[in-house]
Amino acid sequence: MDLSIFGQHMRPTTAQIDVPRTYDSHMRWVPKLGDVFPNFQVAHGDGVFDLYDWADGNWVYFFSHPALFTPVCTTEIADVAAHADELASRGAKALNISRDHAADQTRWLQDIERLFGLNIDFPLLSDPDGTIASACGMMHPSEESTLCVRKSFILDPSLRIRMISEYPMNVGRDFEEFLRVIDALQATESNSLVAPGGWMPGDALLVHPYSLTEEAQARFGERLQVINGYLRLVHPKTKAA
C-alpha cells in the first residue's frame, strides 16, 4: 500500500521484530542468565537423579549433545572426562543430557573409556522423550527436529544460570573455554571486577564500568592502573603481597 499521501515514511518509532508465527508455539520458559535453574528428576541407573540433591553446593557444567555413537559427541564426552581434576579443583561438577536411551549409553561410554583410556565419572542423563531438553531450550527444531543441540549451562552453587552457550551439530565445543568462564566467574564473584576478553587466570582484571575509580583506588591501591575512565586494570597480587 502506498502511504506517501501521509507525507512521511512509516518508520517505526520503537524497535520491532517480526517473529515468524510458527516460532510462537515454541515460546515457553527460555532459560536466561540470572534465572535459578529449575530442579528436575529423571530416572538414572537404579534410582532417580535429582538435580538439586546432586549439585549440592557445587558449580555445575550442564551440557547436552545430539546423539551417542557419533564422532563429535564422542570427542566432547572424552574432553570433559579428561578434565575431571580441573573441574574438581574449581568445586565444579559435569552433567550431561541427551535423548539417547540409557541402555545404549552404557555401551558407548565403555567404548569411549577404552578408546581414550579415560574414566567417565560424571552422569549422562537419558531423556528420550525430550521433556527436560525441551524445557531447557536444548531442542532447536529449525536446526534438527529430534536431537538436542550442543547447549551448555554454567550454574553457580546457588543454581543460578551464569553462562549459556549453544553450538551447532557439526562443531564440537572446547571444554577449556568453559573452565576459563568458571575461573572468570569465580575471580570476579565479590570484588566489583570484570574479566576482559581473552582473560586467563593470572591476567589483570578490570574495574566494573559502574564502579568509581576512587573506590577502586582505596581497595586495590598500587594494583590499580588507570588507562582512562573506563579502562582500569587491577593487576593480580604479587606473591610477596
* Whether the Cβ atoms of residue 220 and residue 193 lie closer than 8 Å to each other: no
In whole angstroms, the minimum distance from the beta carbon of 122 to ligand BEZ comes to: 18
Contact call for residue 170 and ligand BEZ (CB under 6 A): yes
Give one word for 221, left, alpha or beta, with left for phi > 0 and alpha for psi -120 to 50.
left
In whole angstroms, the minimum distance from the beta carbon of 112 to ligand BEZ comes to: 12
C-alpha cell at 25: 508455539
Q: Which is nearer to ligand BEZ, 128 or 221 (CB)?
A: 128
Contact call for residue 97 and ligand BEZ (CB under 6 A): no
Separation between Cα atoms, residue 49 and residue 141, nearest integer Å: 27
Q: Which is nearer to ligand BEZ, 57 or 71 (CB)?
A: 71
Stretch that binds ligand BEZ, among 38-46, 68-76, 90-98, 184-192 (CB under 6 A): 68-76
Closest by alpha carbon to 234, among 189, 203, 198? 203
In whole angstroms, the minimum distance from the beta carbon of 197 to ligand BEZ comes to: 29
Residue type (1 letter), 61: Y
Among 51, 55, 60, 73, binds ligand BEZ (CB under 6 A): 73
73 is catalytic: yes
SS3 113: helix
Per CB under 6 A, which of residues 120..149 are in contact with ligand BEZ? none
Residue in the structure block whose three cell numbers are 521484530: 17
Contact call for residue 187 and ligand BEZ (CB under 6 A): no
Separation between Cα atoms, residue 76 and residue 81, nearest integer Å: 9
Helix H or strand E encompassing 49? strand 47-50
C-alpha cell at 9: 515514511
Among 67, 82, 187, 194, binds ligand BEZ (CB under 6 A): 67
Write out the DSSP string of 159-188: -BEEEEEEE-TTS---HHHHHHHHHHHHHH
Catalytic residue among 73, 80, 133, 233: 73
Contact call for residue 169 and ligand BEZ (CB under 6 A): yes
Q: Which is nearer to ligand BEZ, 40 or 116 (CB)?
A: 116
Contact call for residue 70 and ligand BEZ (CB under 6 A): yes
Contacting positions for ligand BEZ (CB under 6 A): 66-67, 70-73, 169-170
**Which residues carry out catalysis?**
73
